[in-house]
Amino acid sequence: MVSRLGFLGVIARLFMWAFLLGLAVVVLYPLLWMVLNGFKTNAELFGNPFALPTGIDFGNYRDAWNRGVSGYLATSVLVTVTSTVATVFISAWAAYGLTRVDIPFNKVLTAVILGGLMLTPTVALVPLVRMFQSIGLYNSFWALLILYTAFRVPFTTFLIRAYMIDLPREVDEAAQIDGAGRWTAFWRIILPMCKPIITSTVLLHVLFAWNEYLFAMVFTNGSDVQTLPVGLTSLMSKHGTDFPVVFAGMVIAAVPVVFLFLFGQRYIVKGLADGVGK
């Protein structure tokens, strides 16, 4: 009986490793294929798209960089960083008010903020376009900053609020005894205690803002304010597309997010497990 259980355990492990190996191939092969095709010519790509490149030449990557990817990258970095700072700060301040301050209609305000989770961007596109055009913010950096912040505040507030609820109230009382005001208590005591969930929300927002396409496509129409997901489409032409250059641009766009996820995934899991998982 014991040997039979041991045999079943070995079989289960083999199936598990086979499944994980297959999953790794499914996830990593498209990325590797994209990187390798960035070193080919159009003739090589269409002749045998799954073959290895005949040589390692970074000419396609230089062409992609010179054809606008550098500008799109700078815009994406600017929009991502500013919207991340704005979203996390506003959400943390809102979560602090909802959990640590006795304010009238607290539950109603919480429901209103979290109700934003049910609003899908596609439903609001037309009125938002008209509104931004009327106030002169259409096709501008500010349009993306406001939209990325507004539509992510409810979700980010939900995560940070869930973490702050379990923080001991004694720290607030001790801060008041020491003469600390609300701002000092929030900035110097509560916010450092929320470091795990703050790190998680920062990483989640970066992944969202870097890859967001709908708002960036609808609310921008000039190359000087387009982000990477939209800007890469300009590398494609109706009269002939140099696909290796497009693949090279996609690799340049993917590299920062891949490294960020690889180095930050444990912080995402830890922050969410310590917060919402409590």
Is 180 within a domain?
A: yes
Q: Enter the pTM of the model.
A: 0.84
Is 16 within a domain?
A: no
Tokens representing 2 are: 């014991």
- Stretches where the chain sits below pLDDT 70 are 1-7, 237-240, 269-278
- The domain tally of the chain equals 1
Residue 168, phi then psi, degrees to nearest 5:
-65, 140
pLDDT of residue 113: 81
Q: Report the 3 state secondary structure along 48-109.
A: CCCCCCCCCCCHHHHHHHHHHHHHHHHHHHHHHHHHHHHHHHHHHHHHHHHHHCCCCCHHHH
Query: Angle at which helices 2-37 and 243-274 pack, to 10 degrees?
Result: 140
Is 59 within a domain?
A: no
Nearest CA to 87 out of 77, 79, 76, 75 is that of 79
Q: Give the range of the structural domain holding residue 112, as residue numbers without chain letter.
A: 70-274
Is 7 within a domain?
A: no
Tokens representing 145 are: 């900053």
Is 4 within a domain?
A: no
pLDDT of residue 145: 94
Per the rule left: phi > 0, alpha: psi between -120 and 50, beta: everything else, 105 is: left
CA distance 241 to 78: 29
pLDDT of residue 239: 47
- Looking up residue 80, the CATH number of its domain turns out to be 1.10.3720.10
pLDDT of residue 237: 67
pLDDT of residue 2: 45
Can you point out the beta strands (E) in 81-233? none
Is 24 within a domain?
A: no
Is 39 within a domain?
A: no
pLDDT of residue 4: 57
Is 219 within a domain?
A: yes
